[in-house]
Amino acid sequence: MVNPQIEGKSYPPSAPYLVGREKIREFAKAVFSNDPANLDLEAAQALGHKDLIAPPTFAVVIQERSLSTVLADKEAAIDFSRVVHGDQRFVHARPIVAGDLLTGQLKVASVKSLAGNSMVTFETQIIDQNQTLVCTAISTLVVRGQE
Amino acid sequence: MNLTVGQELPTRAFVITRDSLVRYAGASGDFNPIHYRDDFAQSVGLQGVLAHGMLTMGLAVQTVVDFVGDSGRILDYQVRFTKPVLVDAKTGATVEVSAKVIEIDDDSKTARIDLTAVCAELTVLGKAQVRVKI
């Protein structure tokens, strides 16, 4: 079982991630995006963006970097082989733009037990190089109990 | 943008193949082998290779992005992963996504659009809600 004591625990910020234009294009193609704002610089700028903007779920890349720290934390005792993604949410203060330098600041929002499983909710604040909030990513993992 | 409550957006069908999974793994950095190796997936008790939940989430919202014409209009997006998407090595899997306008808030100039994502007659996303800037 997941250690309930980690509820409320904050983890150190993830290493800064520089959002590249080609990475946005690569991710956009992988999620079947046809949005010119993800793919075509002139079109993105015509819509008022500084550069290409990322698809709405791109923030998962930053969230995963923070989550990997938790999964490696012995105190948390999360057995990754028993983890299923339960739900996910992204609340955007603004779109992620190519050139952003992003860090994730993760906090364990809650640890709950339900029918022998643990449900752990993480809240990752994704912050840019100006220390401004870009996106809050909220993720619940279900950790199946031992049979 | 002209939206009305109850309006249905054009549906979109996504054909996910093993190639799509490899592409998403590379793009996202999620290299969990349950998303590309049958032997591994079976060894952990799965029927076969599954699509990344985050791929299903990522493509489903494109139905709304297509309509509103700018990813930057997506303010808030949430889903629950209710059923896995099993991706056959030869035939892949088809996820059909429909979207319906549920609520319009004239004060904040936003609308709530709910998604329904179906694969092999099963609903694969629950509580799939998108808030867009209108």
Answer whether residue B124 is part of any domain: yes
Q: What is the CATH number of the domain that holds A133?
A: 3.10.129.10
Answer whether residue B123 is part of any domain: yes
Q: What is the CATH number of the domain that holds B69?
A: 3.10.129.10
Answer whether residue B33 is part of any domain: no
Answer whether residue B87 is part of any domain: yes
**Yes or no, beta carbons of B28 and A56 under 8 Å apart:** no
Answer whether residue A139 is part of any domain: yes
Per-residue tens of pLDDT for chain A, all 147 residues: 788 999 999 999 999 999 999 999 999 999 999 999 999 999 999 999 999 999 999 999 999 999 999 989 999 988 887 889 999 999 999 999 999 999 999 999 999 998 889 999 999 999 999 999 999 999 999 998 875
The whole domain housing A90 covers 4-19+56-143
Number of domain units in chain B:
1
Closest to A134 (Cα-Cα) out of A20, A69, A53, A67:
A53
Answer whether residue A25 is part of any domain: no
Number of domain units in chain A:
1
Q: Which residues of A touch B133 (CB under 8 A)?
A: none
Tokens representing A29 are 């193609």
Determine the Cα–Cα distance for residues B51 and B60; give it in Å rounded to an integer: 13
Alpha helix (H) residue ranges in B2-127: 18-28, 38-43, 53-60, 62-68
pLDDT digits (tens, 9 = 90+) for B17-40: 999 999 999 999 999 999 999 999
Answer whether residue A102 is part of any domain: yes
Best of A14, A42, A57, A81 to disrupt the B interface (most B CBs within 10 Å) is A57
Contact in structure between B113 and B100 (CB atoms under 8 Å): yes
A:B CB pairs within 8 Å:
104
Length of chain B: 134
pLDDT at residue number A142: 94
Answer whether residue A116 is part of any domain: yes
The whole domain housing B74 covers 8-15+53-133
Interface predicted TM-score (ipTM) over 0.85:
yes
Alpha helix (H) residue ranges in chain B: 18-28, 38-43, 53-60, 62-68
Given B14, B53, B77, which is nearest A56 (Cβ)?
B77
Q: Which residues of A touch B127 (CB under 8 A)?
A: 87
Answer whether residue B45 is part of any domain: no
Best of A31, A40, A91, A102 to disrupt the B interface (most B CBs within 10 Å) is A31
